[in-house]
Each structure stands twice: as structure tokens, then as C-alpha cells.
Amino acid sequence: MTATRQPTDDSARYDIPAHASADDPRVLLEEQIGVYEPVPPFPPRTEREAEFYTVGDGEMLINIGPHHPSTHGVMRIVMKIDGEKVVDLDPVLGYLHRGVEKICENADFHQTITHLDPLEYVSSLFCEWPAVMAYEKLLDVEVPRRAEYIRVLSGELNRISSHALAIGFHALDLGGLTPILYSFIERDEIVEMLAALTGQRMLFNYFRIGGVNGDLNHEFMSRLGDWMSRATTEINANLGLLNENEIFVRRNRGLGTIDTETALRMCWTGPNLRATGLPFDLRRAHPYSVYPELDFDIPTRAEGDSLARYLLRVDEIKQSLRIIDQCLQQMPDGPVMAKLPRLLRPRPGRAWAGIEGPRGEYGVYAVSDGTDQPFRFRIHDPSFLHLQSFNLLIPGNLMADWMAVNASLDPIMGGVDK
């Protein structure tokens, strides 16, 4: 677009401090390092920053993260606390920002699928799904029904494994060491199944434009059948470890309560929104794939607190099992991939696709300009918006409550930071 610019040397414009180390003028020496206050480098640039970084009497700023066992990834929260009580929060993101959107602008349509897996890495299939749906809209491709059923089947398996992980980490963040290992039993089996199907245990790279990459095989079906026969009892036993634990319930009940109206204003979706009472599920609200043919309920809970979100995830696992059952019974025969040219050049246009992932609405907006690379590839991640609500949910509670709320919202920083 513009002519090549030469790199400019701005060192003269910058304020290099007088005491520099002998070998490297940019390194600060020990005596300059005072108290490590997480202050911003500039004078406050926005209203909110000024409000937050003004520390009142008895308050102190403390960093949670980025190295922290409970931040579900690499995230930094600057907390203003008054003793143990949290007064305000400022999440700082970007530690895991990989520039995926920019990378995808320079990659073929097929290559972008691989770039999307590591976003919400625990539920990778749901990261690929809206992208392939958007491309199929751009290319006007009809996906074979068998491929759709396989997508739903593998997607629901991934949903179960993602919820199991979320539940386990919820318990771990509150101090229980055991439930995570029990929920990882489920996740382990599902991950092995999906490895038999897709070839990978975690970042599956399975969905393709126009279908999926390979049909069901014997190993997958045998593992799946084996697991389905004991799934309900196992899930009830393993994942119900905490439902009635007094300590767990008391730490979660009434915490981080949000009502539906506020949740809609904060653009929440997914189980977090359904836990406030609104049965908004994209699989029913805006049906895609073969979900109209499948019979399942949308669990909701009315309280809107952390315990409701936790219990809702357990309910959703049960619904997913129903869906998997129906998929297996109704699976049609046919091809698993539509016939497409190898080099894809869609007409210039725009397409949006949103699906119901385990954390909420996961969306992709793809703009094509007629070449074989997307012109603009926008990824919308649900956890990004859930993290924004910390300022509503946590002030007034204790620092330990931040762990409980964070774990119940189930963010995945890979998706948040893209």
C-alpha cells in the first residue's frame, strides 16, 4: 500500500536514565528498582485508568499473575485491595497474543484452520467450526449430511471434555486436589477417542471446508461404544464429587451473582448466560448444522451465581450425551467431504458464522476479496467478554472469591488473547 519505510532511530527522543549499567545503557540498576508497583508507564490515558490507579487510604495495588496457577492461562489482574477485600480490578491482557488474525490474512483458507486450533485449545473443534462454516457460506458449498453429523458428534464429545476440564479446574482453584484427576478420567478417554478419529489428542485440525478430514473408523467407534456404555454412571460418580461438598458449596453459593439484563448488556453468552435464567443457546436460537433434527433440552438455572454455573456445566454434559446417542443412531451414509477445487477462490464477499461453544458464542467474520487468502479474518471469543465483567462481580468480595468467580466463568486465555 505504501512505499517501504526505513527504520528510524528514536533513541535520542527517549528518556534514558542517567545511571546505566556499564555494559548496557538500557538496563536499569538495582538502586533504581524500588517498590514494584504495577503503575502504568504514562500518566493516566483514560478516565478509567485514572480512576483505577488512584490509590485511596489503606488500599494497595497487587498483581495477580501473569505467573499464577489459577489464571487459566497467562493473564494479569491488577487488583486494588483493602486488606483482603477487593475494591477494584483491572485485567491486563495480551500475554498470549499471537496475532492470529494477522497471520490468517497471509495464509490460505485451508491453512487458517490450523491457526485457529490453539485459540481455545481445550475445545479446538469449536474454534474450527465457525471458520469452516463462514468459508462454506463464502463459497456456497453444501456440506454432506454425514459430515455434519460427524461434526456434531465430535463437537459434543469435545464439549464434554471441555466441561469436565472446567469443572476440575474449578475445584483445583479452590483447593481440592482430587476432583480434577477424576474429571480428567473422562477427558482422557474422550481425548483418546478423538485421537483415533482425528489423529491428534488436542489440537485436532479435523474440520475441513466442505466436511471433515476422514470418516469414522473402527477404533473410534469401539472406544466410543465402550465409553458410552459406562458414561452416565461414570460421569455421575466422577463429576458429582463436589456437588454436595459443604465447603465447595459455601464458597460458591451467592458469589458473582449477575442478572440476565446485566449479562446481556455485558454481551455474555453460553453457560454463563444460561445460568442467569435466559435459555439462549445458539443451537436452538439460530440453528446450524443438523441440530434442528436432534432432540435435546437447554438446561438453565435461575440463580446466576458461581454454583449455578458449575451445576449447569454438569447438566450440559448430560445433554451432550443425549446428542451423541442420537447422532450415533441417526448417522446417515454418504461422503464426508464436499467436492471442492484445491485452490479456493471465493467471490468477494463477507460471511459471519457463530456457533455455540462450551464457553459461549464463538464467531468468525471472514471477508474475502477474491484471492485465495482471506482479506480480513475476525475471531470473536466469548471468554473475552466474560473477563470484562470482573469489575461488576468481584468488588466487595474477598481476594479468594476472585479465584472462585474466575474458575466458574471458565475463561481460556488462548482464546481471549488470540
Partner 1 sequence: MAVVGRRFSRLSLPAKLFAVGLPVLLVAGILTVAVLILALPLVVSAAEDNLPLVRFLVAVVAVLLLTVPTAFLVIYLELKLIARMNLRIGPDRVGPFGAAQSVIHGLKVLTKEDFTPSGADRLVFTWAPVVVFMATVMTLLVIPFAPGLFGTDFNIGLLYVFAIGGLTIVGLLMAGWASFNKYSLLGGLRSAAQAISYEIPLSLSVVGVVILAGTLSLNQLVLNQAGSFLDWYVWQQPLGVLIFFIAAVAEANRTPFDLTEADSEIVAGFATEYSGMRFGFFFFAEYVNVFVVSALLVTLFFGGWTAPFDWPFPIEAPLDPGSLGITLLFLLAVVPVVATLLFALPFWLGRSSTPFWQALIIGFVIFNIVAVAAVLGWAFVSFDWVVGLLWFMAKSYVFVFVLVWMRATLPRVRVDQLMGFAWKWLLPAALLNLFVTASAVVILAELQ
Partner 2 sequence: MDRRLKRRLESRFADRLAGPIRQRHDETELRIGPGDVPDVMRALHDEPELRFEILADLAGVDTGHAMQVVYHLWAPTTPDWLRVIADGLSRDDPRVPSITFLWKGAEWLEREAYDMFGIIFEGNRDLRRIFMPPDYTSFPLRKDFFLPDDAARSPGAGVRQMERTHVPRDAPATGHIRRTPAG
Distance CA 150, CA 332 (A): 10
Give the residue carrying C-alpha cell 482430587.
178
Binding to partner 2 in span 8-27, by CB under 8 A: 8-10, 13-16, 24, 26-27
Q: Which is nearer to partner 1, 30 or 333 (CB)?
A: 30
In DSSP notation, 195-228 reads: HHHHS-SSS---EETTEESS---HHHHHHHHHHH
State yes or no: residue 185 binds partner 1 (CB under 8 A): yes
Q: Which is nearer to partner 1, 173 or 356 (CB)?
A: 173
Peptide bond into 66 cis (omega under 30): yes
Distance CA 80, CA 90 (A): 8
Distance CA 306, CA 312 (A): 10
Candidates 185-193, 227-235, 243-251, 258-266 — which segment interacts with partner 2 by CB under 8 A? 258-266
Distance CA 231, CA 332 (A): 24
User: In this chain, which of 192, 365, 395, 398 binds partner 2, going by CB under 8 A?
Assistant: 365
CB-based contacts of 345, cutoff 8 Å, min separation 6? 370, 371, 372
Q: DSSP assignment, residue 67?
A: S
Angle, in degrees to the nearest 10, between helices 145-173 and 399-409 = 170
235 binds, among partner 2, partner 1, none (CB under 5 to 8 A by kind): none
174 binds, among partner 1, partner 2, none (CB under 5 to 8 A by kind): partner 1
State yes or no: residue 345 binds partner 2 (CB under 8 A): no
Distance CA 173, CA 179 (A): 11
State yes or no: residue 176 binds partner 1 (CB under 8 A): yes
Candidates 43-51, 181-189, 214-222, 328-336 — which segment interacts with partner 1 by CB under 8 A? 181-189
259 binds, among partner 2, partner 1, none (CB under 5 to 8 A by kind): none
State yes or no: residue 68 binds partner 1 (CB under 8 A): yes
182 binds, among partner 2, partner 1, none (CB under 5 to 8 A by kind): partner 1
Distance CA 26, CA 17 (A): 8
Candidates 38-46, 220-228, 305-313, 398-406 — which segment interacts with partner 2 by CB under 8 A? 38-46
Distance CA 128, CA 117 (A): 6
State yes or no: residue 230 binds partner 2 (CB under 8 A): no
Binding to partner 1 in span 221-250, by CB under 8 A: 242, 245, 247-248, 250
User: In this chain, which of 222, 265, 370, 371 binds partner 2, going by CB under 8 A?
Assistant: 265
State yes or no: residue 29 binds partner 1 (CB under 8 A): no
Distance CA 218, CA 312 (A): 33
Among 355, 366, 373, CA closest to 134 = 366
Distance CA 150, CA 138 (A): 22
User: In this chain, which of 135, 149, 169, 280 binds partner 2, going by CB under 8 A?
Assistant: 280
16 DSSP β-pair partners:
none
The residue ranges that bind partner 1 (CB under 8 A) are 30, 33, 60, 62, 68-70, 84, 171-178, 181-182, 185, 242, 245, 247-248, 250-251, 398-401, 403
- What is the binding site for partner 2 (CB under 8 A)? 1-10, 13-16, 24, 26-28, 33, 38-43, 45-49, 93-94, 97, 99, 101-102, 105, 137, 264-269, 280, 285-286, 349-352, 354, 361, 363, 365, 367, 375-376, 378, 380, 384-385, 387-389, 417-418
